Structure 1
Amino acid sequence: MKQRGRHRRRRRARALRAVLAGTALSLTTAATLISASQAEVADGPGPLRALDLPAARSELRLTEHRVPAHWLDRLSSAMGRPVGAEAVLGSADRELRDAADCAAEERAALPVAPAATRAYCWSEDDTRGWRPGAVTTSQDASADGRWGGHRVILSAWSSDDRDGHGDSSGEGGPAPHRDAAPPPADRPLSRIAFVDADDPDRPRHVSALLVVPVDGGRGYRSLGSPVSGMVWYRDKLLVTAGAGDRDTLYVYDMDRVFRAGAGGRSAHGHRYVLPAVASYRPADGAPRPAALSLDRTAGPAGVIAGERVPADAGRPARLWRYALGADPARTGPLAADAAGRVDAVEAYETRAAGIGGVLAHRPPGSDRTGWYLTLAAREPGGRAVLGRQDGADAEVTECGADRSKHCWSGDTGSLAYDRRTGEVWSQSGRALFAVPLASIDAALR
């Protein structure tokens, strides 16, 4: 049986490589036809410029705010006991399709160069009315790379459909306890898809609505903003909030997932609800992180953040790092002082515009950390740029006969590094994909 399974995986791997190679070839050909205005990209944004840390601290400082414990207790009494990883992943019954089974227009969202070596597609029924956001994996969460014994990918999605009609996934289902107060219908929706990746041939998923407790824990509202950045560290999930929210990051407890009420009425058809347990608030006018990732390669683990600045803003963007803490008195995962203040431990300026994803990685034996960035396309429907910077240099990938720099996916997706396989995960359109970091480095050379 095991031998047949190995042969089946090898055949699928060969088929996938052929499909992705063919897709990359056709997309590379298409890239040569990109208009001159899009192909004319500078060789790179130049090296990073280190910021004076004491001055940067005041601008990048966050303050932790905890959701009161009695609010969470009241919400728990209304929704029942939280469920664990086994219950959540055990109910995952929606399948992702292997890239070999994806339509051509779905594979068109994949990077041109370097090409993905693993890719899956979401069903149109599961994503209609929803936009893809950030990605993180259980490799970020724990030393053994598992959550509750499972390999898991988390995929964020947002919808402007405030009534939840964009969700036709049929994820609602009966639950044995009464509803909490439903979220107001005048806010956009945000959700996390839990992907069971134990079997890479048949990944399955189920979604939970991201919410924030309100009214003393008597109800909750939707997070209501796109999740462009996300980090999973230990039992906490850190997600970005949009500019319309006074908080810039929200904290979710992965051991506090609740079943929605009967038929999912309190969660717009979702089976599960994930309520925030804390948040981080910036100073007025401070930069807000749009991209997040976890870095375990440069000393103690830290959260990497980047702000998204448009090309016509006339100022550089900032990249920075927060240290992670282990203080049991703190709800959030970031290292904070007794007053809940969190300061950056490293900060830079970059001339890169439209940052959508950021990843920091220091190769073993090296004293230089590379900062990998995905940068927005210059025009609607175009492709993003993938580059790398450090304090001395900068490179971007190239593709096509005209050496276009727009070689990444159709969207500037987030980046998450899987240290077990050496792959970088991202998503674009209805495609979830992985590219070896070694391939990215080769393309950047």
Structure 2
Amino acid sequence: MNRKQWLWSAFNALEAVATTVAVAIALPLVAIAESGPGPGPLGPGLGCNFFPPSAAIGAAVDSSYFGPPPSSVNPSLVGPVQLLNTGEVNFQKGTITIPLYKGQLRTGETVWYILTDTDDAQNAKALGLNLSSKLAYSASGVRTGNFNSAGQIIFNEGKVDFTPERQVQPGFSNRPFPPIAAQPGSMGDAAYSPLVRIRNSGGHVYNAPMIAFNVDASQIHFPSGNPDYKLVHDEVVAIDTTRMTVTLNLVNGFSFGRPVWYISMDANDPTVAAIEGATFAPALRRIQVGNDDSFSSAVERIFIAVNGPSENACENPQRQGLFAALTDGFRPNNTFGGIPTLATDYSPLWDANLYEWTAEAISKGYRSQLREEFQILGLVETGFLTGPNGAKFGSTGNIINCPVVFRLL
């Protein structure tokens, strides 16, 4: 089932539900109209905050008695590991501050961007970027660029309009996803992709999401916060064009049972981009999906619950999914496949696999928060999870550009 068929199926199912439930239940929820990053990863309850507790809980010794975490000896072991090492993570605010770069389109407009990932192993180490060998297979969805004499990237094409206000109107109260209407806060033109291949520097691919476009430094200088979201990406918390840094909101997620923080920057579908607070990047549609981990695959899978536990919002330690996110406004707690230090198949281009708990699984009390890829696949195999509305489980055709920043355990 392709993306359009899936959307029609979802909306048809929504219409059928609306005609059979009570009017009081079928009233649409209040529309969300907002700009900016919204809630960070340190939410008000266990369902929206996965920061690890002290190992001293329940022990007979003070936390000061514990030695360094095993991850300090080997980053693949248990313990905190910063993966994107270009800037400082603020653990009180749940943000990261990283370098801001300035380039140009070949037509002269200014491009403000960040760097998060590359397929160049040596530069990944030297610059503190995430290494993603899979980006070498992303040619169909990249822009091209060249360095000028000042070391700036001159991008061949790709523009972004940051003026729209992000809006999401959830569906009916018993089924808030898919939303009735959605508008991303930033819209790329047909040529825009966050990926760029630099032709005169080895031909390597870099993940360079755009932060602002065709504006002067003075227009987007908000070092203390409260930026103008008609000029900058919705995930920006603060931006300093003197120090050339940008502070971005972090998002909660999981990979193989470990809590992680990441940034959500772009998506190839406008509805997904609106929900994520990301930029709509049409050129990412050219990248093949559904072939995770095979030869020539540029993507890795992300697993997104549709109807995970949502009762009591962030107070619910099992909270997860799009119903929850569209009801309480916090993030859906998605589950990644491989990330650096846990696997070798990492890509910041996440192929969205949506899953839905069946009525049987819910009635038996099996519905819970899922944190690990093969746990999810096992539940699909046994029939307790399906695709949306009972459809076959698999790729929805949507790609989300979510560079991973920090592994909390």
TM-score, reference length from structure 2: 0.25
Question: Greater share of strand residues, 1 or 2?
Answer: 1
